[in-house]
A and B are shown apart, each in its own frame.
Chain A
Amino acid sequence: QVQVVESGGGVVQPGRSLRLSCAASGFTFSSYAMYWVRQAPGKGLEWVAVISYDGNNKYYADTVKGRFTISRDNSKNTLYLQMNSLRAEDTAVYYCARDRVAAAPKYYYYGMDVWGQGTTVTVSS
């Protein structure tokens, strides 16, 4: 079945780095843009980043731009989020999600139709 599964979360000290992974299965991964979305404890959803199906276009929320990097390996059906210079306010559940439309134009994103269960990142000393 169509699914995405996140991994790589954990407890990390402020200023350190962490890399999240998202393994996709059940669909042609290389045809879909992919997202990272996070949710701080007791808060709403916050978009983090999106990457086009071919990896050539990437967009970031202002709160993470310059610190986080989204990437993908279409040969491994895997999405990544490299998180550097982590702060306490980055503490959240991080979700990976698939774009709703295959082979969509790289200047437009259609929203998220498949979500993982999330991986928890805690930034604390």
Chain B
Amino acid sequence: SYVLTQPPSVSVAPGQTARITCGGNNIGIKSVLWYQQKSGQAPVLVVYDDSDRPSGIPERFSGSNSGNTATLTISRVEAGDEADYYCQVWDSSSDHVVFGGGTKLTVL
């Protein structure tokens, strides 16, 4: 089955740029989504189709996808960005939704 690998944690100072990776075999040919989940809340979609943002999501959130790695980039990080972030794809080979293990973003 298809596996997505994320670093367990990423730390960044306010105002800096955070990059969260999502590794998968040839993930560049898949469409990647990213979700933000703050403590005690339901997940929120922040990026879809590798790099598009739903309405209401700040431009500070961006995504890219190539080769074996997709990346969520958060520019000018704020304290309110502290959350768990999950990548996700649809694996057509197995007809399964696949989530990455999640990355905890800590704002120092």
Interface residue range, chain B: 20 to 34
Q: Quick check: A59 and B101 within 8 Å, CB to CB?
A: no
How many residue pairs, one in A and one in B, have C-beta atoms under 8 Å apart? 61
By DSSP majority rule, is chain B's interface helix, strand, loop, or mixed?
strand
Given A45-B35, A95-B42, decide whether A110 and B90 contact each other with a Cβ distance below 8 A: yes
- Which B residues touch A45, using CB under 8 A? 35, 37, 43, 86, 88, 99, 102
Stretch binding the partner chain, chosen from A23-31, A69-77, A114-122: A114-122
Q: Quick check: B98 and A47 within 8 Å, CB to CB?
A: yes
What is the bound-complex CA distance between A110 and B49, given in angstroms?
8
A contact residues vs B (CB 8 Å cutoff): 35, 37, 44-47, 50, 59, 61-62, 95, 100, 107-113, 115-118
A-B contact pairs, 26 of them (CB 8 A): A37-B97, A44-B84, A44-B86, A44-B100, A44-B101, A44-B102, A45-B88, A47-B97, A47-B98, A47-B99, A50-B97, A59-B97, A62-B1, A109-B90, A109-B97, A110-B48, A110-B90, A111-B33, A111-B45, A111-B48, A111-B90, A112-B43, A113-B45, A113-B48, A116-B42, A117-B42
